[in-house]
Structures are given as structure tokens and as C-alpha cells.
Structure 1
Amino acid sequence: MPTYTDLDRPAQFLKGVGPKRADLLAKLGLMTARDVLFHVPHRYEDASTVSKIGALEPGMDCTIVGRVVSKGVLPTRRGLRIFQAVVRDSTGLIECSWPGQPFLDRTIARGDLLLLRGTVRFYHGRQFQPREYTVLAREKEEAAEESGTIFPVYPATEGLTHRQVRTLIAENLDDLLRQAKDEDRLPREIRERAGVAPLAQALEWLHRPASLAEAEQGRRRLAFEELFFLQLLYAQAHHRASTERPGIAFARRDTLVKPFHKSLPFTLTTAQKRVLKEIGEDMSSPRRMNRLLQGDVGSGKTIVALFAMLRAVENGHQAALMVPTEILAEQHARTLQKLLDGLPVGVTLLTGRLSTKQWKEVNYRIASGDADIVVGTHALIQEGVQFHRLGLVVVDEQHRFGVKQRLAIQEMGQNADTLVMSATPIPRSLALTLYGDLDISVLDERPPGRRPIKTALRSESSQPKVLKFVREEVRKGRQAYIVYPLVEESEKVELKAATAEFEQLSALFPDLRMAIIHGQMPGEEKDRVMRAFAAGEVDVLVSTTVIEVGIDVPNATVMVIEHAERFGLSQLHQLRGRVGRGSEDSFCILIFGGQGSLERLKVFAATEDGFAIAEADLRLRGAGDLFGARQSGLPAFRFANLESDLNLLSIARGEARAIVERDPELANHPDLREAIATRYEERARLFRVG
């Protein structure tokens, strides 16, 4: 048998394992000693506040620990079968009763050590009625019976119970921890500043905690490590993007920026001024700008981006604005032309809809430098598009582009600054995790005078009244959206589907101009429908979430969302943002099917603050389900919690950037470089770091 002295040895050579149990461990992904050491509990049974059985009184709600001394199933006259077990600790006995659960007779055995939570009742004497129970040990297994222990509960598999996993880890833990002392990749000074423990100490706290607080300290250490190495990768990516090629130091000439500022019929918000200062400092620096601009619907991102583009143009450079769809590109081009009326700045549109002749003409204007600002789709990064002197790339609706596309966009200009924008507010913790290679600016203030959208919650029984209201709005000359979560009906999920409802609504409203749009339609067909709606040729647009990020239709004043409980809060916020863009009162009506979702929807209805809604969504649903998170490549964390670890994440980002500032290639930190390559191999390759 080969000799293994470190954590890389196969798990089968651990004490109490062997070949058969090694096969079971492999089902859990535990192939080596290191895997076993990092197989931490997924929860804990807290027996630190255990009540003595002898001291129990009727009415008490408590936790007890005791051995089963007898058990059985008791039938009643009414046919109800009750499982009963008598448990004992050093102070006495008590009968535990589970009405209607006779099957427990097969899972709870005489001699089992149980941890039980429940209420003490009086029924022919004291009786304990458990809400939940855990088998801490079988008859011949050792366990601390009443010592106030925190019992770790491990992920298990068929043939290997969590108790067996706990015993296996306990038998090997001291040996594994000794070897873990050599595995710690975090520099001591960083650990101390972050307030986290050495690796071996953290793992001991996780496997053998004296309290839940100790277990949490162990988790924090491993969470910080995950966040730190990810931020270290991002810090390297940010440094390389900013310094690998020289940037452009844009001077403030005010030949375009100043007259544009004077022409605005409104005053910039404090948030817009703050963000413009951040962008201005980036653009005046010889380092390349790589910045994310986050802002809610209507927060004024387009104006901020236009100031930046004019800064590039007045310095003799071109600016490019890239958006995800042709119809959005057309809308942006019209908006910019309107805002720049009177200024000597040309706006050129580049999309896939251009004829061959038009394409050649536009490309000539771009290559010759006659096109000052170019607005387009992904066609901008296609072969054959050559800019004369590109100085700034602005990417709108960043979440619609993957990391690879974003990096390709940055390569459009050899030394161009990059500003990416997102109208999908996401919590800071999620932003730092998804876009950690970028500096982040936030527009968290809405321009004054924007009319609030009236949001109402309605049950399914109110649908006729809601549809009557839609008709009334259309009679006033307005337009409406009706959104469904599915395209076609499913036998598995009883939800109203867009296609079926469209047919019914068309029959119900024969005098209204109806149209449908959904993600399974060809792109050209979707564009045709949206253009017709924007032009006022459609009264009611039946849709799926494909219109979350859509064109600006100021005349649309009603958004009806069916089965609102099926949508995330951030998704609902994006849908609501499709209305309220004109001067008339606008309405968002949520039709829900279950009372269980009512409290969550009330949170949404109470505010129009997209960042507050995103925080609530993160808290209620977790990061993986947030709008755009999966599509954008959210890293998988075992220990970090984006709902609660923002402080750790901020510390990790600061420490990572400080190290890379001093040592960009991590030449003096080979352990850190190796850790990045091991943990984030694919991302490191993508960002060309590590």
C-alpha cells in the first residue's frame, strides 16, 4: 500500500474508511483526505440549552436529550395510531407522543439517543409532543448525552448516515487539522485585519464547535477566503485592463460638454453630479477606465453616458454605444440626436438591418472618423467594423451580455475607456461578485418631477374588473401591457399562458387592436410587434417577460402582471418600469393566485426604489434566482453568503486590490497565484490572469 502523509491521500486510507466506505464517500464527492476535512456540517443541532427531563412542567416549550427505553404504536378507538416512546436522561423519564405517525416505529429504535424539540403537555401525566427530532446516536454509538453539545449534521448519502459521517470525521479530525496548518494560503496580516481565524482553527470550530457562535466564526473564515481569492482575480483583471495598454488622458475642453450642460432643460441630480465626477476622474487619467454604472429606471444614466461620450468627442475621439437589440439601438440613436440638437456632433446607427450599400456607407463614416458617436448592436464588434479613433465604449443593459462579450467589447478600441451600464439594480454584494473587475458607480437618486406609478395587488377573482379598467384606459387613448409567466400552457403547472390568454382576450376585446410577443418568436417578428406598439398601432400588448428590457413607450400607462407570485421582485420591478414614462398617471396591477405570496408582493408594492427591492429579493430568494444572476455567471460559493457577508466582501476587495497594486503579477505571492489558478481556473483563463 502506498504511503500518503498529506491531505492528498485517498479517503479510503483514513481511519474507519476502507474500500467499501470509500465508494460511499465518493458519492458525496469525497475522494481525498482534504475533501473529507472540508466536508463541513450543513447545519447544527443545538443541545447547549437542553432542559432536564426531571424539571419539565406542562406548557414549557423546550429541547430535551434522552435515550429511548421503550417504544410502540398505540391504536385508539377512532382509528388513529399514535407512536409513543419513553425517553430517559439522568433526571427522569417522560413519554413522547407522535399522533398519526406510526411509521416512526421503523426509524426510532430502543437505545437511540434522541434530541427532541417540542412542548410539554399534561395528559394522564406529563407528556412531551415533539415538533422535530434528531437521532444523535444509536444504542452502541457513543455521544455526549447531556453535556450541552452542539451536534454537527453532515451531508450524507444512502448507506452512509450523517451520524456515521460525524463519527468518521471525529476519528480523523485531529490528524487532518495538523496537516491543515500547512494549507493556509491567507497571509497572516490579512487574516488579522479581516478578523478571521487561521484555517486549522476555523475548521476545528466548524467540525467541533463549543457554540453556534464558534461555528459561525469558522464559516466566516472560509467565506472570507472564497471572497478574497475571487476579488484577487478581479483585481488582477482590473489592473491589466487598465494598464496593459496606455489609456487616453481626456482633457476637459468644454467645447461640447459645457454647451450641452447649458442646453439641458433640467438640473442634474446630486447622484448624477457625483457619478460624473467619478467618470471624469477616470477619463482624465492615463489609465483606461473600466467602470460599471448602475442606475434604476429613470435615474438618468443616458445623460451621464452622453456627457462621457461628448468628453471623448471634444478630444478628437469617437464614442460607441452598444445595446442588445436593434429596436433599442434605434431608440437610443433618436434620443441622442434629440438631446444633441444644435451641437456639431453626428450620431450614426449601425445594426444588422442595414442593406449592403448602407452598411458600406456607415462603415466608411466610422473608419474615416466622420461618425462621432456610433450606436449599434453586437454588430459593432463584428469583423469589418473599423473605428478611426475610438476613445470610449459604452455598453447599455450590461446584464444582457456575457463576460466574454463584454471583454470583446473592451477590445474594440486598443486603448479606449469602457463604461458599462445596467438598468437592473442589484445589491452591492452581488455587483462586487458579478462585476468585481470593474469600478462601480451608482445612480441612487431619481430626477425630481417623475410621476410615481400606482401599484395595486388584486386576487384572481378581480380579473374582470382589472380588464374593464384596461379597456377604460384604452378608450382614453392609452396603451396597456398584459404579462404572463409562460408562453404555452403546461400540464404540470396550472398557469395562464400568454398564447391561450391572447386568444381569449382577443375574443373579449374584438374592438381593440391586440398583439402578442414572446421569446419563442423570431427576432424580426418581435421587433415588428414592438415597433407597432411604440407607434401606437397596438392598444394591448400580451407578452411574457421578453418586454422586461424594452423600448420607451410613453403612451403605455397600464401594466397588468398575471400570476405575479411567480416572478421575482426584481423582475416585477423591471416590468413595472415599462410604464410611467409619459406625463399621464400610470398603473401596475399585480394579479396573484396564492395568499402565501401576498407579504412578498406587499414589499414590492410599497416602494419604487429598485435597490431596496433588489435587497429584498436577495434576502427572500437568494442570489442564484435574482434576475440576471445565473446568466451573468454568478460564482458558486460554499461558505460565503451574499445576503449577509457584504462587510467581508468589501474587506476582501480592498485587500485584494492593495496586493495587486504592489505586486500586479503576484510574483512575490506564489501561493496566492496558485490558489487563483486552482479555484477559478476558467475565470482566470477568461481574464488572462493568475
Structure 2
Amino acid sequence: MVSLNDSVSALSGVGPKRVTALKELAIENINDLLTYFPFRYEDLQAKDPSELTDQAKVTLKGTVAAEPVVTRFGRKKSRLNFQLLLDDHQIIPVTFFNQPWLRDQMEVGHDLVVYGRFDAKRQSLSGMKLLSSANGAMGSIYPANKEIRQATIKKLVVAAYDAYAPTIVDLIPEPVRVKYRLLHRQQMIHDMHFPADAVAAKAARRTAKFEEFFLFELRLQIMKQQDHTLYGQELTYDLAQLRAFITSLPYELTGAQKKVVNEICFDLKRPVHMNRLLQGDVGSGKTVVAAIAMYAAMTAGVQTVLMAPTEILAEQHANNLARLFADFPVNVALLTGATKPAARKVLLPQIANGEVNLIVGTHALIQPDVHYRHLGLAVIDEQHRFGVNQRQALRQKGAQPDILAMTATPIPRTLAITAYGEMDVSIINELPAGRQPIKTTWIRSNQEANMLQEVKTQLAAGSQAYVVTPLIEESEAVDMKNAQAIYQRFQAEFEPTYRVGLLHGRMKNDEKNAIMAAFKANEFQVLVATTVIEVGVDVPNATLMLIYDADHFGLAQLHQLRGRVGRGQKASQCILVADPKNQLAIERMTTMTTTTDGFVLSQRDLELRGPGDVLGRKQSGVPDFKVGDPVADINVLSVAQQVAKVVVTEPNWAEQPANLAVAAFLTTTAHQPTTMD
């Protein structure tokens, strides 16, 4: 019995070598092949030369008016010339280069359909291929590689459709298909490959996008449902103790923080595994929310950990949490790769016996020799900087500990629906009282003198400044500012009145930590650095951020860098120094100066650069959809997500008649969505 899961080797002419070539294109079975859709179409409808533009790719239909002539020149080079008599009696000279064999398909007086590039000045056609009248008005163009030609793909698609069309069943439940006026799957696949016209192609693509998004979101919702059915730890925290801790904080929580705390505490009490993403803008107060969650867990008698991506950030978190919990029964420890062997030897038994109940660290937290007495809650800071393996290893350190992932890179709705679709999402969209907006300006490099004067003004007022460059040292490959050169220049400009420090990624961790500590203590007034300071560095006295070659950074990264200032009570500003060479870079600079809303910026960054560039191609969490674009087609994606949610929340949804086909499809297909969890 034939099935869409049959290997492509079931088709005639597909041997081991071709199977390997197709696998390179992610085509392994018949369904893969039938959903390997064209990325564009050529208009093959015959045109009248009077309506053609110069150098347009066109189709002309006529009669061979004279004997074709093949002229050979050079090695393996040839030119085939003939005249095509059109219906209006106009004669168009046609030339084919290096395709002498086409001569055998031409006979004087016989009709011919030719596709090529039109030369309006000479009223001639440079032929590209001959078409049969059965080709239709739309020519499908497929992504191909050097191992397998497009013509071969097209031939295999035709063979697969002819043989397997009767086995194609609808995956979208009938009520949904009718409600949204979608095509039957068999019709959709046919019209994606062989559309009669542009209207049919558009309708097929609309259905294909919805189906692709729907299947993806259905898998995510199933994962989310399964995650919620996992037996978790029911953490019955002490409400009186928790309220006492919140009351001890030196500030009132914002409304957004209170809402998120309630969401997290509700999850902690449930006997199911929490998998929650906490996202909020720079300075929105995520860390104090995490501290409240961790204290709630600790009053229930379990240990908590906070994992950060860098040692600098981990140490900063440990110091801040130690201050917050100074008057409470919390024993905070720091465990990173920089922890000395002697200190580590003392600390590990304390973690294992529960003497330490809050451990802050980096990847060191998940090393094989680190054992916890009872891990109940794991907080992951800057979630997108950790991969799948680290997350899984942390979960395996306890009996399904609750997970609270945090990110200061606001995730636009598109990425939240795709990369984090299986997680519950909490958002802090309100800044604490007293935080002043950061004034952002963009200057060209020829205005640098005015900028340096502003630095002197800020330093004279007792403030400090960051200076960020894209490179550590001079590069022959790119013409951009580097930290070494700017450091020397600023030393000459400001010392000995003010001290200038240097920080970059090639320094040893001890050296980096010492420099940051010195800057925080105001031993340096100016810190020249690379993006190593992008995340988590907290120096309230720093009020000025200068960013050289700012057009080489994405909006989200610029926003993170800008967030290093404005952390105290003083007014702060960010100056972008850039000479953008294209409109895209100009738009980024303009956007930075018009909004400080991280959610607005992240959505704009996504639109300008795409998901892989926003979060990093390997860990963006957004799959490479075949036909859908999660940014451009966000409305379709949103509807697909809502439909998927409704489907999986039905009791025994997979056994409902309308869902049998899609449930079977999901069971038999091995493709799983790429997510960041």
C-alpha cells in the first residue's frame, strides 16, 4: 500500500546517488517532495511584443519561418538562430546559445513556444528554453543544488503527484478549513506546483502557509500540554515569610511586577512542572521578581539556582542577592569556572547537604560533580544565550525543578509564538518609578569633537562614561573602530585628569572582573570596551554611553548597550557615532533615536534583519519555514496558533473524527519543531 511516508527511492529513476542528493535538500520521503514548493513562478503565457519591456523574460508563440542555422565557434560553443513568425505576421529573430540539440525540435511551418529574454531595441529574443503547449501559463522555479537540477526536481514532483495524489488527505480539520476558506490539501499541493494562473498560485500559497504554521503550532501546543502533565514539585511556600521579604524591599513593586509574581507563585504551588519565560525591558526589575520567586521556593524547603551566561554577571547577581537576603535565612553561594579549587572543595558538600540554599553561577552549576540536596527552582538569566543541552542538564539536577527563564531582550510577538510557543510567558512592561528615559542622539564621525566635549562635561559633573567599539584591535578586513586605538586616544585626551580603563573579551576572567570592579568603584571614569559589557553590568554612576560604528550593531544589541546607563537617579544619554552606507543602517539609527521601548525595537529589528540575526542563527529558535514567513505572515501565524490551542484542549482531541488525519500525520512524521528549549 502506497503512503506519503514512502521513500523517494520508490519513484522511478531515484537510485542511491539521487536519494543522497535529495536528502541534501531535506527531501527523504514523498511528502517531503510534494511539499518542496516552488519559491517563485515564471509567467509562461504568450505575449504580444508590443506590450513587452526591454530585457523582460517572456514567452512568445509562433511558427518556425525559416530553416534554423547552427553556427559553431570556440571550444564547445555554438549559436542557434531561427525566425519565429507570430500570429500578427511579425517576425522575431531568436537565438539560443550552446543548445545545438534544440535544432532537432524545430521544423519549418510548425508551431513553437519559446521562453527567453526580449531585446526591445533589436526586437529579438535570446532564447532560454522551448516549452510545450502543455506547460501551462505558470512555470514553477524550485531551489536546487549542484547535485540535482531543477528540471529533475520538476520531473520527480510530477511523477510523485501522479502516483500519490489519491493518498493526499486534508490535515487541517474540516471546520477550520471551511471557516478560513482554505483549499483541500490535494488541490493546494497541485496548485502550488502546477497553477493555472497567478490567482490559483496565490490561493494555494495561502493554504500552504496556514497548514505549515498550524502543524508547527500544533506540535508546540502538544509539547506544552505534555510539559504541564509532567509531575512537578508542589512547592507550598510560607506566605507570611514571603510577604515579610517583599515588605523589606526598599521600593514598591510596579503593577507589572506584582502581576508576574502572582503568576509565578501560582505555578509554584501547582503539582505540575513550571516552564515559564519572564521577559522585560532593560531595567524593568526582572531580577527582584526572580528573587521573590526564589525566596518563595526556599520557604518551602528547597534549593534554588540562578544560572547566568557570564562570570561577571553571575558575580553581580550573587552580590545583589546577598544584599537583598541579608536579614533572611538565605545562604547565597557563587559557583563559576573561576571558583578556586580549594573553595570549590568546601562548597560542593555544602550544596549537596543543603547547607547552601541559593547557588548563583554559570555553566559550572551543571557540571557532573555538582549535586543538589533538593533543587526545586532554577532561574536562567539571559535565556537565549543557553542552548538545549544546558537547559536539559539543569532540569536533570533535580526532580523536574520548576524553570523560570528570563530575558532582557524583549521578544517580539513573532518569536514568542515560534521560539517560545511551548512556554508560558510573563511580561514586565512597566519601568520602576524614578527611572528617567535615556536621551539618544546619532552623530556622524565628523561631529566627534562636540561629543568629546560632552564627555568632559559629564565627567566634570562627577559621572562616568562607557565607550563601546565593535572590534578589539585593528583589522585589515573591515574599516571599523577598535578598542585598543580608542583606548590610547582617550588616554591622551583625558588623562591624567580622568582615568581610562580597557575591557574586552580576550582578557582573562580575573582581569575582566577586576576592571569592572574598579570601574564600579569609580577608579576609572571612562571605560573603553567591546560588547562584553552588553549584559547585566550595573554601574549607577555611569550616565553616558558612546557607541562607535553603531550602524554595525543590531537594534536589540544597541538597546542592551544603552541600558548600561540610566541605572541611577541622574539623567543619562547615549550617543551613536555612525556613518551608515545604506538605507537599512540609516533606519536603525533613526529608530534608536525615536524610541526607548525594547519591544518596539525588537519587532523592528526582526523586520529589518530577520529572526536568525536578531537572536543568532543557531539559537534563534525559529525554524526555516518552507513557505511561511513568521514576520510578514504574523497574522496567519497568530490564527494558526489560536486554532492549534483550541484543537489540543479538546478532550481526547486526537480521537475526534475531524482530527484523525492530522493526529496520524504528527505520529508518523519525524520532523519536530526547532525550539530553544
TM-score by length of 1: 0.78
The question of 1:554 aligning with 2:540 is answered yes
Q: Deviations over 1:536-557 (max 9, x none)?
A: 2222222222221132011222
Separation of aligned partners in 1, 2:655 and 2:603: 39
- Measured at CA, do residues 22 and 604 of structure 1 come closer, stay the same or move farther in structure 2, by a change above 3 Å? same
Separation of aligned partners in 1, 2:668 and 2:500: 54
- Measured at CA, do residues 387 and 8 of structure 1 come closer, stay the same or move farther in structure 2, by a change above 3 Å? closer
| 1:481-500 matches, cutoff 5 A | 481-500=466-485
Residue in 2 that maps onto 1:181 = 168
The question of 1:278 aligning with 2:263 is answered yes
Separation of aligned partners in 2, 1:344 and 1:26: 58
Separation of aligned partners in 2, 1:181 and 1:262: 62
Residue in 1 that maps onto 2:601 = 613
Residue in 1 that maps onto 2:132 = 142
8 Å contact kept, 1:137–1:143: no
Separation of aligned partners in 2, 1:664 and 1:279: 29
Q: For 2:615, what is the secondary structure of its paired residue? A: coil
Query: For structure 2, which runs of at least 5 residues remain unmatched after alignment?
Result: 66-82, 104-111
What displacement does 1:174 show?
A: 5.2
What displacement does 1:134 show?
A: 11
Q: For 1:440, what is the secondary structure of its paired residue? A: strand
- Measured at CA, do residues 129 and 279 of structure 1 come closer, stay the same or move farther in structure 2, by a change above 3 Å? farther
The question of 1:527 aligning with 2:524 is answered no
Deviates more, 1:164-173 or 1:297-306: 164-173
Q: Which residue identity is paired with 2:612?
A: G
What displacement does 1:336 show?
A: 2.5
Residue in 2 that maps onto 1:413 = 398
Residue in 2 that maps onto 1:13 = 12
| 1:64-83 matches, cutoff 5 A | 66=60
Separation of aligned partners in 2, 1:456 and 1:318: 45
What displacement does 1:474 show?
A: 2.5
Residue in 2 that maps onto 1:82 = none
The question of 1:397 aligning with 2:382 is answered yes
- Measured at CA, do residues 161 and 346 of structure 1 come closer, stay the same or move farther in structure 2, by a change above 3 Å? closer
Choose which of 324, 329, 334 in structure 1 pairs with 2:314. Answer: 329
Q: Which residue identity is paired with 2:605?
A: D
Q: For 1:255, what is the secondary structure of its paired residue? A: helix
- Measured at CA, do residues 676 and 615 of structure 1 come closer, stay the same or move farther in structure 2, by a change above 3 Å? farther
Separation of aligned partners in 2, 1:658 and 1:525: 54
Residue in 1 that maps onto 2:626 = 638
What displacement does 1:615 show?
A: 0.7
Residue in 2 that maps onto 1:622 = 610
Separation of aligned partners in 2, 1:679 and 1:302: 39
Separation of aligned partners in 1, 2:18 and 2:273: 55
Q: Which residue identity is paired with 1:410?
A: R
Residue in 2 that maps onto 1:474 = 459
Deviates more, 1:355-364 or 1:301-310: 355-364
- Measured at CA, do residues 677 and 303 of structure 1 come closer, stay the same or move farther in structure 2, by a change above 3 Å? farther
Residue in 2 that maps onto 1:425 = 410
Separation of aligned partners in 2, 1:29 and 1:375: 42
8 Å contact kept, 1:272–1:300: yes
Q: Deviations over 1:163-199 (max 9, x none)?
A: x4697478647515615615x6555566556764433
Count of equivalent residues: 643
| 1:227-242 matches, cutoff 5 A | 227-242=213-228
Choose which of 556, 559, 568 in structure 2 pairs with 1:582. Answer: 568
- Measured at CA, do residues 317 and 207 of structure 1 come closer, stay the same or move farther in structure 2, by a change above 3 Å? same
Q: For 2:236, what is the secondary structure of its paired residue? A: coil
Separation of aligned partners in 2, 1:609 and 1:51: 51
Choose which of 505, 523, 526 in structure 2 pairs with 1:540. Answer: 526
- Measured at CA, do residues 105 and 545 of structure 1 come closer, stay the same or move farther in structure 2, by a change above 3 Å? farther
Separation of aligned partners in 2, 1:637 and 1:288: 30
Q: For 1:473, what is the secondary structure of its paired residue? A: helix
8 Å contact kept, 1:11–1:30: no
What displacement does 1:292 show?
A: 0.7
Q: Deviations over 1:450-486 (max 9, x none)?
A: 1111111111212233233223322333222222222
- Measured at CA, do residues 468 and 31 of structure 1 come closer, stay the same or move farther in structure 2, by a change above 3 Å? same
Q: For 1:630, what is the secondary structure of its paired residue? A: coil
- Measured at CA, do residues 141 and 471 of structure 1 come closer, stay the same or move farther in structure 2, by a change above 3 Å? same
Residue in 1 that maps onto 2:504 = 518
Deviates more, 1:259-268 or 1:485-494: 259-268
Residue in 1 that maps onto 2:290 = 305
What displacement does 1:655 show?
A: 5.4
8 Å contact kept, 2:195–2:201: yes
Residue in 2 that maps onto 1:152 = 140
Question: Over aligned residues, Cα RMSD in angstroms?
Answer: 4.6
- Measured at CA, do residues 371 and 194 of structure 1 come closer, stay the same or move farther in structure 2, by a change above 3 Å? farther
Deviates more, 1:608-617 or 1:460-469: 460-469
Q: For 1:13, what is the secondary structure of its paired residue? A: coil
- Measured at CA, do residues 365 and 600 of structure 1 come closer, stay the same or move farther in structure 2, by a change above 3 Å? same
8 Å contact kept, 1:113–1:135: no
Residue in 2 that maps onto 1:218 = 204
Residue in 2 that maps onto 1:680 = 671
What displacement does 1:116 show?
A: 7.8
The question of 1:38 aligning with 2:32 is answered no
8 Å contact kept, 1:230–1:680: no
Separation of aligned partners in 2, 1:624 and 1:415: 30
What displacement does 1:414 show?
A: 1.2
**Percent sequence identity over aligned pairs:** 38
The question of 1:434 aligning with 2:424 is answered no
Separation of aligned partners in 2, 1:471 and 1:289: 50
8 Å contact kept, 2:216–2:673: no
Q: Which residue identity is paired with 1:538?
A: F
Q: Deviations over 1:489-542 (max 9, x none)?
A: 332322223334333443444434223222233333322322222222222222
| 1:193-204 matches, cutoff 5 A | 196-204=182-190
TM-score by length of 2: 0.80
Q: Deviations over 1:628-648 (max 9, x none)?
A: 453355433222312033344
Q: Which residue identity is paired with 2:556?
A: S
- Measured at CA, do residues 30 and 299 of structure 1 come closer, stay the same or move farther in structure 2, by a change above 3 Å? closer
What displacement does 1:405 show?
A: 0.7
Separation of aligned partners in 2, 1:20 and 1:346: 62
Deviates more, 1:260-269 or 1:667-676: 667-676
What displacement does 1:564 show?
A: 1.5
8 Å contact kept, 1:11–1:31: no
The question of 1:465 aligning with 2:455 is answered no
- Measured at CA, do residues 199 and 527 of structure 1 come closer, stay the same or move farther in structure 2, by a change above 3 Å? farther
- Measured at CA, do residues 156 and 90 of structure 1 come closer, stay the same or move farther in structure 2, by a change above 3 Å? farther
Separation of aligned partners in 2, 1:231 and 1:343: 44
- Measured at CA, do residues 631 and 28 of structure 1 come closer, stay the same or move farther in structure 2, by a change above 3 Å? closer
Choose which of 571, 587, 610 in structure 2 pairs with 1:599. Answer: 587
Separation of aligned partners in 2, 1:316 and 1:26: 52
Q: Which residue identity is paired with 1:468?
A: Q
8 Å contact kept, 2:276–2:424: yes
Q: Which residue identity is paired with 2:499?
A: R
- Measured at CA, do residues 258 and 492 of structure 1 come closer, stay the same or move farther in structure 2, by a change above 3 Å? same
What displacement does 1:625 show?
A: 0.7
What displacement does 1:300 show?
A: 1.5
- Measured at CA, do residues 623 and 355 of structure 1 come closer, stay the same or move farther in structure 2, by a change above 3 Å? closer
8 Å contact kept, 1:559–1:576: yes
Separation of aligned partners in 1, 2:134 and 2:549: 51
Q: Deviations over 1:369-399 (max 9, x none)?
A: 4444333333332344443433322111112
